[in-house]
Structure 1
Amino acid sequence: MEHKPLDQLRSVADVQPRPLSREERLQRWIDLLETDPKRRLSSLGEIEYKPPAERALLREDDSPLTVAYEDPVLRADGLSSDRLGDAMRYFALSDGQAHYALCSCLSGRTMEAGTCAQRLRNATGNVAWESAVGAWLLAALAVSLPGLVYLLS
């Protein structure tokens, strides 16, 4: 097998990079936010009260969405703007996830980039789900154990 630089391959074939998975997109955005965790970013004003059409067009200068859109890798992969609707489509965020991570009602007019990164991680990861399931299983065990001991003795 002969190895050639990517530039030479492009002259012979249409070489396209593999699209990022949702997890890779989100992780890249989180990593970008965590490069300067104390950076003050503008939150999005009261997302939940906007009609869907207006919500999709919502944007703020120097917001977490701006951080994502400034990244050439995310733009090349398909992030088309720093508007909420485009970001929700690209990162596959639900209304609730976007609200939790980006809305001003939870953070005020500005937030630290590190806080937004942690909210994105919490809203989109399996950590919260796994913790909730674990807590319910532990509670069920604690409630049922005395009854099981009584029945078996």
Structure 2
Amino acid sequence: MKHQTLEQLNVIAEVNAEFPTMTRRQRLERWANLLERQPERCLSALPGTEYMSARERNEAHCLASPISIAFEDPILRAQGLEDDTYGAARRFFELSNWQLHRIVCHCHVGATMKAGWVALGVRAAMNDGVFAKLRALFRG
């Protein structure tokens, strides 16, 4: 798949980029749905994200990762997903380092993982914010 900017696409065809901005939940839902289309597909895990410096982690990426699946989607790119790096995914999906680490790091699954398993992690991250807020409320 060849990635092009909207300006490049406008040379070839008329592009209508006017559609509503997706919420965090909608972006995560779309990512999970993309992964669920081929639940048995083997994806590459990112190695050792918890041991990387913030700069290294921000720039980390690998071919055929769960983040690559999201970046292949023209809708998520149009919504603002800049590239298939860890940092771009963390910012775009509004995930904490710990949440994204649980989704893409090899320490949980080894060098490869099935897309369906990753989708479960993405869906769990959708609800993490709610539970974190409830825990904070109960702790005072």
Q: How does 1:1-153 map to 2 (within 5 A)?
A: 16-125=18-127, 129=131
Displacement after TM superposition at 1:18 (Å) = 1.2
Deviations 1:41-95 (A, max 9, x none): 0011010000000100000100000000000000011001000000100000101
Highest RCO, 1 vs 2 (Cα 8 Å, sep ≥ 6): 2
TM-score (norm 1): 0.73
Deviations 1:81-126 (A, max 9, x none): 0000001000001011011111000010000000001011113315
Displacement after TM superposition at 1:128 (Å) = 8.6
Q: Looking at CA atoms only, which structure, 1 or 2, has the larger radius of gyration?
A: 1
CA 1:117–1:128 in 2, change beyond 3 Å: closer, same or farther? farther
Residue 41 of structure 1 aligns to a residue whose secondary structure is: strand
Runs of 4+ in 1 over 2 A off after TM superposition: 126-130
CA contact (8 A) 1:122 1:128 kept: no
- How many residues of Structure 1 are paired with residues of Structure 2 in the alignment? 121
TM-score (norm 2): 0.79
Residue 86 of structure 1 aligns to a residue whose secondary structure is: helix
CA contact (8 A) 2:17 2:78 kept: no
Residue 60 of structure 1 aligns to a residue whose secondary structure is: coil
Identity of aligned residues (%): 39
